[in-house]
Chain A
Amino acid sequence: MTHVKISMAQALNQALRDAMKSDETVLMFGEDVGALGGVFRITDGLTAEFGEDRCFDTPLAESGIVGMAVGLAMNGMRPVVEMQFDAFGYPAFEQIVSHVAKMRNRTRGRVGLPMVIRMPYAGGIGGVEHHCDSSESYYAHTPGLTVVAPATVADAYTLLRKAIEFPDPVVFMEPKKLYWAKEEVDLTEDQPGIGTAVVRREGADATLIAYGPTVPVALEAAEVAAAEGRQLTVVDLRSIVPFDDETVCAAVRRTGRAVVVAEASGFASVSSEIVARVTERCFHSLAAPIRRVTGFDIPYPPPKLEKYQLPGVDRIVDAVDDLQWEDS
């Protein structure tokens, strides 16, 4: 019940600290996570507090990091690894897809892998190439992976704690442009778990479905739409896999219109999956086709051009305006 004003980076750091305190099998490792505390300082102070055996730097090899985590998880540990940036998780892709995701299934449930792959992801920070990818669709497309993306400080804490306690491997996507945003939070307050979406704002006219970095943008857009006389519901998915069909579909049925907002390129993505499954389930409640505001189908642009790629308030409001209001 103690409210503190902290950033998402600090909340993630606190989650790791508390998890390591409460369970000594929790290990944190990766590139620059020791003395430096991670390039985003998410692991700041953990080596000093828990020692080199608990939080440590590895040689510079992502495939090795994830592969070793698999072995550690097979032998009684709960590894949490950091891929320094989204695109630097690709060298580990084979380990993630062929082993992390499949171990439980291949072994008929005998070997579970309680491990977390932390992935600072997405853009909006002026990063040069390979530092701003939205790679969640690759992981969401891979059966066996649980994929989570917090959008608030409180969720960053809760979802990371729950991911570490989770019996299965979790790809934990951290929207890096939200790392420094501060909120007043009570970390002892329980939040919904993995697999549950949350309605962040209620409105009767249309639903914005967002996750990770686009949640604050969707909320801002809802604010603007309200000023223009349209009341929007905003659903924060929190968990991409498992997907909370119930919460999302209930909101869409209530409002009859929806726009999905995601930073990743739209083609064959999480956003297209959302449109497909919501349409399949809510077709008769829909007054208009579901629209998407996503990144274009291009490599993430260089810093001077990234503003054109990021879903912004205007694009979202425009998409809402396009939901065939004249028919209603």
Chain B
Amino acid sequence: MTTVEEQLLPSTEPVRLIDQDGVPHDHPSYRLPTKDVLVDGYVELIKGRRINDQAGALVRQGRLAVYPSSHGQEACQVASSMVLRDGDWLFPTYRDTVSIVSRGVDPIETLTLLRGDWHSGYDPYDRKVAPQSTPLATQLTHAVGVAHAARLRGEDTVVMALCGDGATSEGDFHEALNFAAVFHAPVVFFIQNNEYAISVPLARQSVAPSLAHKGIGYGVPGERADGNDLAGLLAVLGHAVAKARAGGGPQLVEAHTYRVQAHTNADDAARYRPDDEVAPWLERDPIKRLETYLEQEELLDDAVRARAEKAAREVAEKLRDGLMPEPDVDPADLFAHLYSEQTPQLTEQAEFLRDELAREEA
């Protein structure tokens, strides 16, 4: 007999189904996803890496205002989207471009925020992806509300709510877990622990045995996974989503990964961490290990490679073509959509700006 506490606590080791050498391992609770799923996942990983590379290049060329890369975290990105159904919701942060694109949102619309032509570029209802949240952890309570509404409406929606390791220190993270637990809301809280919050290492955020342990105080079951093992992540997140969907209430999953690059292009990681800390993580690259495994299983034939390359090439071209030209921005947009009906004051201010610009042009 297991105690309630034991049911709430995560595994003693992060769940890992394929190790960094590409070797598969049996797990008492989780099974390797099917070959098809792993092959699809591989294609998404290759595409995700290319999005990060291309966005990195575009920010260097001044086409994006800023880019927080998920390089090295692509397995988390891809898994968080792949385990969802069409009717489910995703609540992403600024770092989750790849997850959002994986969910099927247009890449240019996804990068609107980081390009700087508007705050959020896509229609959240379209693919059921909330606007990316920059104020840390604040989106997590929204996720609870969306999940609770779905339950009240009799829908079997699951909400995937993403945050980083640093964000777990914010009060909102704790309120969201507790609310979700009390309302038994079908939310999967997915922490990408990449060991850093800008310059601050995990040890300064928490001395808990793991971030997944934070669930127990709220009665939320926690689990942890190797964040660079797509197979393990798909299994763990898939299980969490299924449990939440079946009425099991909120679930907390921590993926242990690593932020291989600086926080954003504007950051200088050399100021706070030695290069030799990064090197072993490059060995644990999520793409490399899945590739090795698929090769060994003879699942990576030319057709799959070509499919992956095509997906990557297409998304890169789309980003280049879409982001190289200066975006069309309309100053009148500044006054639109603040209220369902524009206030007289805003109309006046919009007119002021229009006159000013007309005079400048004249």
Residue A175 is within 8 A (CB to CB) of chain B in the complex: no
Q: Nearest Cβ in chain B — how far from A103, in angstroms? A: 21
Contact residues in B for A39 (Cβ distance below 8 Å): 198, 267
Residue A296 is within 8 A (CB to CB) of chain B in the complex: yes
Q: Nearest Cβ in chain B — how far from A86, in angstroms? A: 12
How many residue pairs link A and B with beta carbons under 8 A? The number is 107
Residue A64 is within 8 A (CB to CB) of chain B in the complex: yes
Residue B296 is within 8 A (CB to CB) of chain A in the complex: no
Which residues of chain A in 271-313 are interfacial with respect to chain B, using CB atoms and an 8 Å cutoff? 296-299, 301-305, 308-309
Residue B309 is within 8 A (CB to CB) of chain A in the complex: no
Contact residues in B for A91 (Cβ distance below 8 Å): 135, 170-172
Contact residues in A for B153 (Cβ distance below 8 Å): none
> Bound state CA distance, A175 and B198, in angstroms?
22
Select one of B117, B206, B329 contacting A59, CB under 8 A. B206
- B345/A267 in contact, CB under 8 A: yes
- B346/A129 in contact, CB under 8 A: no
Residue B246 is within 8 A (CB to CB) of chain A in the complex: no
- B169/A60 in contact, CB under 8 A: yes
Select one of A36, A296, A314 contacting B272, CB under 8 A. A36
Q: Nearest Cβ in chain B — how far from A129, in angstroms? A: 5
- A305/B333 in contact, CB under 8 A: yes
Residue B353 is within 8 A (CB to CB) of chain A in the complex: yes
Residue A138 is within 8 A (CB to CB) of chain B in the complex: no
Q: Nearest Cβ in chain A — how far from B203, in angstroms? A: 10
- B345/A60 in contact, CB under 8 A: no
Select one of A37, A126, A298, A318 contacting B334, CB under 8 A. A298
Contact residues in B for A37 (Cβ distance below 8 Å): 271
- A298/B205 in contact, CB under 8 A: no
Contact residues in A for B360 (Cβ distance below 8 Å): 314
Residue A90 is within 8 A (CB to CB) of chain B in the complex: yes
- A128/B65 in contact, CB under 8 A: yes
Q: Nearest Cβ in chain A — how far from B358, in angstroms? A: 13
- Residues A60 and B113 in contact in the complex (CB < 8 Å), given A302-B119, A303-B65: no
Report the stretch among A27-35, A162-170, A179-187 that lies at the interface: A27-35
- A60/B272 in contact, CB under 8 A: no
Residue A61 is within 8 A (CB to CB) of chain B in the complex: yes
Contact residues in B for A6 (Cβ distance below 8 Å): none
Residue B327 is within 8 A (CB to CB) of chain A in the complex: yes
Contact residues in B for A297 (Cβ distance below 8 Å): 345-346, 349
Residue B37 is within 8 A (CB to CB) of chain A in the complex: no
- Residues A87 and B206 in contact in the complex (CB < 8 Å), given A57-B199, A301-B334: no
Residue B338 is within 8 A (CB to CB) of chain A in the complex: yes
Contact residues in B for A130 (Cβ distance below 8 Å): 134-135
> Bound state CA distance, A318 and B272, in angstroms?
48
- Residues A32 and B199 in contact in the complex (CB < 8 Å), given A60-B205, A302-B117: yes
Select one of B118, B166, B170 contacting A302, CB under 8 A. B118
- B65/A309 in contact, CB under 8 A: no
Contact residues in A for B135 (Cβ distance below 8 Å): 87-88, 90-91, 130
- A35/B272 in contact, CB under 8 A: yes
Closest to A130 in B: B134
- A32/B116 in contact, CB under 8 A: no
Which residues of chain A in 40-77 are interfacial with respect to chain B, using CB atoms and an 8 Å cutoff? 57-61, 63-64
> Bound state CA distance, A303 and B116, in angstroms?
5
Residue A104 is within 8 A (CB to CB) of chain B in the complex: no
> Bound state CA distance, A64 and B135, in angstroms?
15
Contact residues in A for B206 (Cβ distance below 8 Å): 59
Residue B197 is within 8 A (CB to CB) of chain A in the complex: yes
Contact residues in A for B346 (Cβ distance below 8 Å): 296-298
Select one of B65, B167, B335 contacting A126, CB under 8 A. B65
- Residues A60 and B200 in contact in the complex (CB < 8 Å), given A37-B271, A296-B349, A296-B353: yes
> Bound state CA distance, A129 and B197, in angstroms?
19
Contact residues in A for B199 (Cβ distance below 8 Å): 32, 34-36, 57
- A305/B200 in contact, CB under 8 A: no
Contact residues in A for B116 (Cβ distance below 8 Å): 126, 128, 302-304
Residue A230 is within 8 A (CB to CB) of chain B in the complex: no
- B334/A308 in contact, CB under 8 A: yes
Residue A201 is within 8 A (CB to CB) of chain B in the complex: no
> Bound state CA distance, A126 and B265, in angstroms?
14
Residue A99 is within 8 A (CB to CB) of chain B in the complex: no
Contact residues in A for B169 (Cβ distance below 8 Å): 59-61, 64
- Residues A128 and B356 in contact in the complex (CB < 8 Å), given A59-B169, A60-B166, A64-B169: no
Contact residues in A for B119 (Cβ distance below 8 Å): 128-129, 299, 302
> Bound state CA distance, A298 and B206, in angstroms?
38
Q: Indicate with 1 or 0, residue by residue over A8-34, a CB within 8 angstroms of chain B CB atoms.
A: 000000000000000000000001101
User: Which among A59, A88, A127, A131 has the greatest number of chain B C-beta atoms within 10 A?
Assistant: A59
Q: Nearest Cβ in chain B — how far from A281, in angstroms? A: 26
Which residues of chain B in 314-350 are interfacial with respect to chain A, using CB atoms and an 8 Å cutoff? 327, 329, 331, 333-335, 338, 345-346, 349
Closest to B345 in A: A297
- A298/B338 in contact, CB under 8 A: yes
A31-B200, A91-B170, A304-B327 given; name 9 further pairs at CB < 8 Å.
A35-B272, A39-B198, A58-B204, A87-B135, A129-B119, A130-B134, A296-B349, A303-B65, A308-B331
| Cross-chain pairs A/B with CB under 8 angstroms, 28 sampled | A31-B198, A32-B197, A32-B198, A32-B199, A32-B200, A35-B199, A36-B199, A57-B199, A60-B167, A60-B197, A60-B200, A61-B170, A63-B171, A91-B170, A126-B116, A128-B66, A128-B114, A128-B134, A296-B335, A296-B353, A297-B349, A302-B118, A304-B115, A304-B116, A305-B331, A305-B333, A305-B334, A308-B334
Which residues of A are at the interface with B, using a C-beta cutoff of 8 A?
31-32, 34-37, 39, 57-61, 63-64, 87-88, 90-91, 126-131, 267, 296-299, 301-305, 308-309, 314-315, 318
Which residues of B are at the interface with A, using a C-beta cutoff of 8 A?
65-66, 113-119, 134-136, 166-167, 169-172, 197-200, 204-206, 267, 271-272, 327, 329, 331, 333-335, 338, 345-346, 349, 353, 356, 360
Shortest Cβ-Cβ A-B pairs, 9 listed: A303-B116, A36-B199, A59-B169, A35-B272, A60-B166, A60-B169, A129-B119, A304-B117, A61-B169
